[in-house]
Structure 1
């Protein structure tokens, strides 16, 4: 298994995206632990379920901010540039962009179904909402792997040096503010 403390990519632009994936994965781990707690053999009480779903909602709301900034970078700068090299109509960029919409859908569905007074939610509705958060985690995890094993290496191999520098200058922004 690769050392998680070492960035794999050489291009500064790809290193930015790779580093953002690591940060987002760290945040995902925090809220995914709550999702997993709902899958234990010992069912949670209604009161404990409500407490945990409130915390899960808070963590996902916090997570959505840097995720949105990261996704915007990819969609406004990275994908359009890479698409000029590999095409836009078919291939890996199409699937990756569809996954962005799928992730947003799962997170949005979770947030929609947990808005309002969580203290009035019943266990079946809580369980359904938590499943959406779990699906978002699964899609995000696979999504990051696809980008890091297919899209990023493709970009490093195909983008010209001037395009790589231009991409870096556009993407060298923080997702944490």
Structure 2
């Protein structure tokens, strides 16, 4: 079950944790998101390694298409965490320091770099700018930061935050979590 997550290796045995349905849902959303992140990371690496590539606008556009799909899946996941789970946990552990502060900082870092990427794509399209290799590599940096931030972030959630929430939240709060997640889906 949980021990098969790509983020679980080497950080303890998650097989002993039986997550409630809403936490399991968040956990189960990680592998498809990680797969999409691996796709855009691999594309960036392939473009960076190809010294003979010349159509950098096309490269950025291909990544843009991947990122639109990724963000469409990431946003509801992040909203469930930020708007519901984090708020429930804040009552117990606060938000000024500790796990929630770290999680929110990492969410903000990823969102900021996604915003920079999408703004650069929009600017390039609106001005018909022809991207050089150097400019494209600058744009790629934002995606590399998103990848590094979120892969580490998911591991922290799986190893620390979700187990902490499972132990900390009452059965009533877990039921409330389930109800609110369902409401968000409708």
Q: TM-score range by the shorter chain?
A: 0.7 to 0.9
Structure 1: how far apart are the matches of 2:134 and 2:97?
40
* Paired residues for 1:166-177 under 5 Å: 166-172=176-182
Look up the match of 1:86: 93
- In the alignment, which residue of structure 2 is the partner of 1:38? 47
Question: Which residue in the other structure is 1:121 paired with?
Answer: 131
In structure 2, what is the equivalent of residue 160 of structure 1? 170
Query: Within 5 Å, which residues of 2 pair with 1:134-153?
Result: 134-153=144-163
SS at match of 2:4: coil
Q: Secondary structure at the match of 2:48?
A: coil
Q: What TM-score, normalized by structure 1, do the two folds share?
A: 0.87
- The root-mean-square deviation of aligned C-alpha atoms, in Å, is 2.4
Which among 9, 14, 35 is matched to residue 23 of structure 2?
14
| CA distance, structure 2, for counterparts of residue 123 and residue 146 of structure 1 | 34
The separation in 2 between residues aligned to 1:135 and 1:63, in whole angstroms, is 15
The separation in 1 between residues aligned to 2:23 and 2:116, in whole angstroms, is 31
| Structure 2 length-normalised TM | 0.83
Q: Which runs of 5+ in 1 are unaligned?
A: none
Please show how residues 21-100 of structure 1 align to structure 2 within 5 Å. 21-40=30-49, 42-47=50-55, 49-100=56-107
After the TM superposition, list the runs of 4 or more consecutive aligned residues in structure 1 that deviate by more than 6 angstroms: none
Distance 1:44 1:95, change over 3 A: farther
Paired with 1:137 and 1:174, the residues of 2 have a C-alpha distance of 26
Matched-pair contact (CA < 8 Å) for 2:117–2:142: yes
- Residue 46 of structure 1 aligns to a residue in which SS? coil
The C-alpha deviation readout for 1:108-152, integer Å capped at 9, x for no partner, is: 111112223377111111010011111111101001011111110
Instruction: Report how far residue 39 of structure 1 moved.
Output: 3.4
